[in-house]
Structure 1
Amino acid sequence: MTIPDPVTPVRDQGLPLASRADQLVGSMIDSSTSLLAAQSHDIVRFAMGSPAAEAIPTKVLAAIGAEEVGEASPDAFDYAATEGDLPLRQALLAELEGTSDATTLDRITVTSGGMQGLDLAFKLFVDPGDLVTVEAPTYTNGSATALSYQAELLEVPVDDDGMDVGALERLVDEAGRTPRVIYTVPTFQNPSGATLTLERRQRLLELARRWGSVLLDDDPYGMLRFAGDDVPTLHELADGDPLVFSVRTFSKTVAPGLRVGWVDTDPSLQPLLINAKQAMDTCTNLPAQRLVTGFLAGGHLDEHLRTQRAEYRRRKEAMQDVLASVFGDRARWTDPEGGFFLWLTFDPAVDTEALFPAALEEGVAFIPGNAFSPSRLFPDALRLCFASTTPERTREGLERLRRAVDRVAG
């Protein structure tokens, strides 16, 4: 699976593209949605990092919508305050009280999903040519957003304890310049599932302070821990340090189609965030904000999370059991304590980009490992989402994947 080059055909038409157009690399993950929609045969879908359809609280949201976004609330279809609808910000503040993400109202700016939070961070802090460190592997859309602002990327290895912070320090020393932004997905990392240890989090904050680097804390999965012990968020450990820019979203916990998230930043940044956001979308979709407000204020999130954590644990363990029986002789995989993903590496190696079309023919989809590295460092790995499939479908999908591997491997 590859992303077509959109730039050359446009340049061939003689259109005066900006230099940054060459850095608009797109997302193999998001492109898989259109690709899979075009298939006419049954596909077991391990590709997209989204909750299963049955995990989305559609009945509750529909009931809230009838009340909060119905005829009785005509203002729900108006413009909203750019920083976010006040009732949502207040409900979010109450929801976060007592957690590792507890905050204050003047730190919260509502965004159109977590992706807009990342875009705002890179827009505010990165000039062309600035150094940005990213994890290897990393979330494709995060690195793509940094590239869209013409950053120079430096990839830092990830192991079972998250980003290798010692390697980060060494690589920055070798580069001879400090990063403007350190981008990390610290908890149940996308795509590896690894969680940054407390010791590494503390060291990462020390390095950010020493270098004057913005620490971009992208944590969409932190509420989805189903095993192990909680680790304080970078937001909590920073204790108000303005260098930490935290991005959160309801896409993984409630519903991705709502496109509602938030950033937690030093209050001095909010006027700039408002200015930047007004040049993007004026405000986040107000009907969706009202749905989330009703969901939080109605006390639905805690019970929903309890249910989903138990189900995701069941699905992860089911996937690992099947992997052991189907791929135990030729692959290894991670063991996350939450989130959505397993990271599988073939040994002996299998080219997972060459594997993709064969797997699609067999009726299973995944994301090849090279999608998660701007330098294409993971040709023999792939990401599997365990959250979106039942154990029965997971078995069927992995058996199909094994057939595809056997075909490609000869």
Structure 2
Amino acid sequence: MTTSLPLAARADLLVGSVIDSSTSLLAQQSHDIVRFAMGSPAAEAIPWELLQEVGRSGLGSSSAFDYAATEGEPDLRAALLEMLEGTTDRTTDDRLTITSGGMQGLDLAAKLFIDPGDLVTVESPTYTNGSATALAYQAELAEIEVDAEGMSIDALRAAVDRAGRTPKLIYTVPTFQNPSGTSMSLARRTELLELARSWGSVVLDDDPYGMLRFAGADVPSLHELADGDPLVFSVRTFSKIIAPGLRLGWVDADPSLQTLLINAKQSMDTCANLPAQRLVAGFLQRGYLKDHLATQRTEYRRRKEAMQAALAEHFTGRATWTDPEGGFFLWVSFGDEVDTEELFARALAAGVAYIPGNAFSPGRRFPHDLRLCFASTPTDRIHEGVARLAGAIDQG
């Protein structure tokens, strides 16, 4: 749609999200669809009964529906600090700002650090909304290859050499990356931080999935390895570990930034949703999260293994896929004969939805790849969905 209205120049850079748009697209369908597209917990994984229980006591007065402090409800901040104690994201009160989901954390980082024309490096493939946020603030993007150990630091150096300037911001999803499912190795995390310090570049550490490890050994977060370095700006969310509809997350950043973060957030939404903050605070205070995460880790491992088994049955010799140790996603790579954008409509008609690989690259580098979310689908439906995908490919 075109308009004659006097739009700002940045309006052309608002590319939107193929991932988020899939929710509306799927709502328009009337036939049965196995939904591997949206990266969200399964409906049965959302602890709605416990949240209802908390709500009966925590939302029992009109004060629960008032405005909240911009930096976050004190009870939630205190409960979050206690929850993080003993984890790789252990922190202090002066570093926390409660946000309206992880996406607001990314937007706050971009608002604080990106000037028009600044070089921002992003993983390739990368989380669509992260790169789109940088573009909306008129950044120049450089895509950095991802392999089995996460973002390639050699490729990062090479891209910076080609650009002839250092990046203002380095965006990474280091653990169970969206969309590939891979994790950055400890050696690369250490090297990345050393390189960022030498350049004076901010590392935007987006880690929604770190608490969802179901295999392998724990790796220190960038937050822990940075040990208070102000160049590391960490974004976290409750969307993947409790429920996305709560729209709550947090930023962990150098204390010198908190006033700026509050000012920036006040120009967006004044405060995060107070009833949701009260719900999450109560959920944490009652100790429900630990058992909830343990249950989900076990179930997500079952679902990942079911998806890998189904892929092996239908696509051995025709495709390759990643083997994540946590999180939500598998990345599937086909040969040149499968165009995953062209395939999408045929697959949807056959009753299976996914996100094409080009959605995860500003430069559209992945026409023969796709992302599958295993977390949101029971194992029997996973097998059905992969079979439908194979059938759609065979029809081409």
Query: TM > 0.5 between the two?
Result: yes
User: Do residues 249 (structure 1) and 237 (structure 2) align?
Assistant: yes
Post-superposition offset of 1:94: 0.3
1:243-322 aligned at under 5 Å gives the runs 243-322=231-310
Equivalent of 1:116, from 87, 104, 108? Answer: 104
Letter in 2 for 1:162: G
Give the number of equivalent residue pairs: 396
User: Do residues 89 (structure 1) and 97 (structure 2) align?
Assistant: no
For 2:345 and 2:306, the matched residues in 1 are separated by 25
For 2:130 and 2:305, the matched residues in 1 are separated by 28
Letter in 2 for 1:305: L
Match of 1:167 in 2: 155
Match of 1:3 in 2: none
Q: Secondary structure at the match of 2:110?
A: helix
Post-superposition offset of 1:105: 0.4
The CA deviation string for residues 220-246 of structure 1, in whole angstroms up to 9 with x for no partner, is 000000000000000000000000000
Post-superposition offset of 1:347: 2.4
Post-superposition offset of 1:66: 1.1
Letter in 1 for 2:231: L
User: Do residues 36 (structure 1) and 44 (structure 2) align?
Assistant: no
Match of 1:224 in 2: 212
Q: Secondary structure at the match of 1:201?
A: helix
Post-superposition offset of 1:349: 3.5
The CA deviation string for residues 242-276 of structure 1, in whole angstroms up to 9 with x for no partner, is 00000000000000000000000000100000000
> What's the % identity of the aligned pairs?
72
Letter in 2 for 1:15: L
- Contact 1:225–1:309 (8 Å) recurs in 2: yes
User: Do residues 326 (structure 1) and 310 (structure 2) align?
Assistant: no
- Give the TM-score of the pair, scaled to structure 2: 0.99
For 2:320 and 2:162, the matched residues in 1 are separated by 31
Equivalent of 2:44, from 49, 54, 58? Answer: 54
For 2:59 and 2:106, the matched residues in 1 are separated by 28
Post-superposition offset of 1:348: 4.7
Letter in 2 for 1:112: S
User: Do residues 405 (structure 1) and 393 (structure 2) align?
Assistant: yes
Structure 2 gaps, min length 5: none
Match of 1:379 in 2: 367
For 1:69 and 1:356, the matched residues in 2 are separated by 43
User: Do residues 187 (structure 1) and 175 (structure 2) align?
Assistant: yes
For 2:337 and 2:368, the matched residues in 1 are separated by 5
For 1:165 and 1:296, the matched residues in 2 are separated by 37
For 2:337 and 2:179, the matched residues in 1 are separated by 19
- Contact 1:331–1:348 (8 Å) recurs in 2: no
Letter in 1 for 2:308: Q
The CA deviation string for residues 32-80 of structure 1, in whole angstroms up to 9 with x for no partner, is 000000000000000000000000000000111111012xx32110000
Equivalent of 2:383, from 390, 395, 398? Answer: 395
- Contact 1:92–1:296 (8 Å) recurs in 2: yes
Q: Secondary structure at the match of 1:210?
A: helix
TM-align CA RMSD: 0.6
The CA deviation string for residues 147-168 of structure 1, in whole angstroms up to 9 with x for no partner, is 0001000000000000001110
For 2:183 and 2:275, the matched residues in 1 are separated by 34
The CA deviation string for residues 275-301 of structure 1, in whole angstroms up to 9 with x for no partner, is 000000000000000000001000000
Q: Secondary structure at the match of 1:178?
A: coil
Post-superposition offset of 1:173: 1.2
Letter in 2 for 1:397: G
For 2:304 and 2:251, the matched residues in 1 are separated by 29
Post-superposition offset of 1:328: 1.0
For 1:62 and 1:87, the matched residues in 2 are separated by 18
Post-superposition offset of 1:171: 1.1
Post-superposition offset of 1:407: 1.4
Post-superposition offset of 1:359: 0.2
Q: Secondary structure at the match of 1:204?
A: helix
- Contact 1:193–1:343 (8 Å) recurs in 2: yes
User: Do residues 126 (structure 1) and 102 (structure 2) align?
Assistant: no
The CA deviation string for residues 90-117 of structure 1, in whole angstroms up to 9 with x for no partner, is 0000000011000000100000000000
